[in-house]
A and B are shown apart, each in its own frame.
Chain A
Amino acid sequence: MITTEEALTIATEFAENWLWTTETARPEQNRLDITLTTPDDLIPIVVGLRVKRLGYLSAISGLDLGAEVDEFELLYHFCIAAAVITLRLRIPRKNGSVQSLCEIIPSAEAFEREISEMFGVTVIGLRNPEHLYLPDDWAEDQYPLRKDFDPAVIRSST
């Protein structure tokens, strides 16, 4: 079994020798953040993590950075032992899109469908892009986890 520290060392080395520039940071002892500069990097770097057997996809967190920055940040958390390796990716708030990981990691489907319906991010290549959690008749342009979402919208419609 690979230890937490070994995993983090291999991952850091891997990210820092990546074809394009990536930034790495260690926000906590057991965490490594890899900031991707372009969404195109996502698939190759995920394949790289898989080839190096650096953990499994534990979750995808979406963050709305607010109207000022006008961007979303997607966090792909890969876990191995106590290590959490996070790929951080920023995409524009308007018409933002990202490639689906389902071809590489089938279990990403549920996480991606959640991101897609909660933030209004288009996930390209999702086999079943329908709602997973929200009702079928949910208003098309309402995305509940955006910071500017007004919960009064649901109250008025029900």
Chain B
Amino acid sequence: MEEQQEVEQFMVPIGPQHPALKEPGHFLITVDGEIVTNAVVRLGYAHRGIEKATEERNWVRNLYLLERICGICSHIHATAYCLGLERLAEVEAPPRAQAIRVLVAELERIHSHMLWLGVAAHEAGFDSLFMYSWRDRETVMDLLENLTGNRVNYSANVLGGVKCDIDIVQADTIFMALEFLQERTRHYLDVVTSDAMFLQRTRGIGVMTRLQAEVLGVVGPTARASGVHRDIRAEAPYSAYPSYPVRVVCEEKGDLEARFVVRINELFESYRIIRLILEDLPPGELREKMPRRIREGETVSRVEAPRGELFYFIKSNGTDKPERIKVRTPTICNMMSVVKLAIGHQLADVPMILAGIDPCFSCNDRMIILERSHAKQEVWSWERLRQHGIEYYHGNHS
């Protein structure tokens, strides 16, 4: 009998491809009935060898390459790189440039968090929240386009400063947009904490205690939703953050609901910081001159991306090309928590737990159910797994 039980273990491969989400990843999930008993992750489907590629390009060209690591948090990659390199070259970007960097970074955080809100709502089957939040996100995208000329890879940074200034008309547009967004955000906070159907998908699901969060090494809003006070903007203020101090948003419960509340409350914090910057934008130049060759040395640059701590290690050998650039993105820290958190949960909760960390990858196209005893094979699309999640909960509670 025992042997047969072992044979009937279900292995559910999910991924790697899905056109709706940004990057591909693969999960191999072992289930006992509906309950997940083990999960393994495999990454690298979008590995483009950028760290290696930086070694063949000069410092200026690398800025544009590194900005393209991520299509959502492109600005923060460029900021981490510029700040590190400026420290190595002993060049300091002017205060106005630093303020504009932070301004764009906070606008980026708003668009990233709203994008996530939509994706996570969609995974829960709450498509009206998805559509409204994405409609409102367009407001931020327009602001970013208005400021920098681009919607996605803004290229606001140059080595030694920024390339775009901000005038009174643009500042007024931002103030007006923030009024609108603030009101909408209040509504979203109300929805995610009171909608009974939605709370069934989030409250008490994927709970990560503070100790677990520390052991698993998670970063960003995922850590802060478990009560870990970790925010580089407050711990190690960089760029203009010393002039505009950030209040760290934390929740104690550590479930999916807490992750929603943390990210939505961070939106309010971003609105506050943007207003502070616009009211008190330092005058002056936009950039300092940077040498083409950077003196020999090493530096570490840490910044707070929308998803958590982004870590850059830069080593220069005195030429116009880097010796080594190491990039550690926040998702790799958070990804390992998904495979641990999923264990013991319903298979139907997996899409939400994955969405909960705001993975900057995650695309799961088809899943294959292998029932080895009968050698039967069935292919599920991500759509069907998602639908399964929605129906599972709908059936139980209606």
Write the nearest CB–CB distance from B183 to chain A, whole angstroms. Answer: 35
Task: Tell me whether A37 is interfacial, beta carbon within 8 Å.
Answer: no
Is the beta-carbon distance between B235 and A82 smaller than 8 angstroms?
yes
Is the beta-carbon distance between B336 and A31 smaller than 8 angstroms?
no
**B:285-302 near A, CB below 8 Å:** 297-300, 302
* Docked CA distance A151–B39 (Å): 33
- In the bound complex, residues from chain A placing their C-beta under 8 Å from that of B237 are 82
Is the beta-carbon distance between A4 and B236 smaller than 8 angstroms?
yes
Nearest to A146 among chain B residues (CB) is B52
Is the beta-carbon distance between B302 and A105 smaller than 8 angstroms?
no
Question: At the interface with chain B, which of A11-19, A41-49, A92-100, A131-139?
Answer: A131-139
Which of A86, A105, A145 is the one whose CB lies under 8 Å from B52?
Answer: A145
Is the beta-carbon distance between A133 and B43 smaller than 8 angstroms?
yes
Is the beta-carbon distance between A151 and B236 smaller than 8 angstroms?
no
User: Interface size for chain A: under 10, 10 to 19, 20 to 34, or 35 or more residues?
Assistant: 35 or more
* Docked CA distance A26–B215 (Å): 28
Nearest to A149 among chain B residues (CB) is B52
Write the nearest CB–CB distance from B7 to chain A, whole angstroms. Answer: 24
Known contacts A107-B215, A132-B43, A133-B44; A77/B332 CB under 8 A:
no
Is the beta-carbon distance between B215 and A59 smaller than 8 angstroms?
no
Is the beta-carbon distance between A79 and B302 smaller than 8 angstroms?
yes
- In the bound complex, residues from chain B placing their C-beta under 8 Å from that of A61 are 313, 324, 326
- In the bound complex, residues from chain B placing their C-beta under 8 Å from that of A110 are 332-333, 335-336
- In the bound complex, residues from chain B placing their C-beta under 8 Å from that of A28 are 87, 299-300
Task: Tell me whether A57 is interfacial, beta carbon within 8 Å.
Answer: yes
Known contacts A110-B332, A135-B44, A144-B49; A105/B217 CB under 8 A:
yes
- In the bound complex, residues from chain A placing their C-beta under 8 Å from that of B49 are 144, 151
* Docked CA distance A151–B217 (Å): 33
- Tell me which of A84, A111, A144 has the highest count of chain B C-beta atoms within 10 A of its own C-beta: A84
Is the beta-carbon distance between B217 and A57 smaller than 8 angstroms?
yes
Is the beta-carbon distance between B328 and A59 smaller than 8 angstroms?
yes
Is the beta-carbon distance between A107 and B328 smaller than 8 angstroms?
no
* Docked CA distance A77–B217 (Å): 13
**A:17-71 near B, CB below 8 Å:** 27-28, 30-31, 56-59, 61-64
Which of A82, A128, A145 is the one whose CB lies under 8 Å from B236?
Answer: A82
Task: Tell me whether B190 is interfacial, beta carbon within 8 Å.
Answer: no
* Docked CA distance A145–B328 (Å): 15
**B:207-262 near A, CB below 8 Å:** 214-217, 229, 235-237
Nearest to A80 among chain B residues (CB) is B235
Task: Tell me whether A81 is interfacial, beta carbon within 8 Å.
Answer: yes
Write the nearest CB–CB distance from A63 to chain B, whole angstroms. Answer: 6
Task: Tell me whether B397 is interfacial, beta carbon within 8 Å.
Answer: no
- In the bound complex, residues from chain A placing their C-beta under 8 Å from that of B358 are none
B27-50 interface mask toward A, CB cutoff 8 Å, 1 = contact, 0 = none? 000000000000010111001010
Task: Tell me whether B67 is interfacial, beta carbon within 8 Å.
Answer: no
Is the beta-carbon distance between A30 and B336 smaller than 8 angstroms?
no
Write the nearest CB–CB distance from B62 to chain A, whole angstroms. Answer: 16
* Docked CA distance A77–B327 (Å): 12
- In the bound complex, residues from chain B placing their C-beta under 8 Å from that of A109 are 336
**B:306-365 near A, CB below 8 Å:** 309, 311, 313, 315, 323-324, 326, 328, 332-333, 335-336
* Docked CA distance A75–B313 (Å): 10
- In the bound complex, residues from chain B placing their C-beta under 8 Å from that of A128 are 40
* Docked CA distance A134–B43 (Å): 8
Nearest to A79 among chain B residues (CB) is B302
Is the beta-carbon distance between A27 and B236 smaller than 8 angstroms?
no
Task: Tell me whether B269 is interfacial, beta carbon within 8 Å.
Answer: no
Task: Tell me whether B51 is interfacial, beta carbon within 8 Å.
Answer: yes
- In the bound complex, residues from chain B placing their C-beta under 8 Å from that of A64 are 324
Write the nearest CB–CB distance from A108 to chain B, whole angstroms. Answer: 8
Q: List 7 A-B pairs, minimum CB-CB distance, nearest first.
A: A107-B217, A82-B236, A133-B44, A59-B328, A61-B326, A133-B47, A61-B313
Q: Which residues of B contact A (CB under 8 A)?
A: 40, 42-44, 47, 49, 51-52, 87, 214-217, 229, 235-237, 297-300, 302, 309, 311, 313, 315, 323-324, 326, 328, 332-333, 335-336
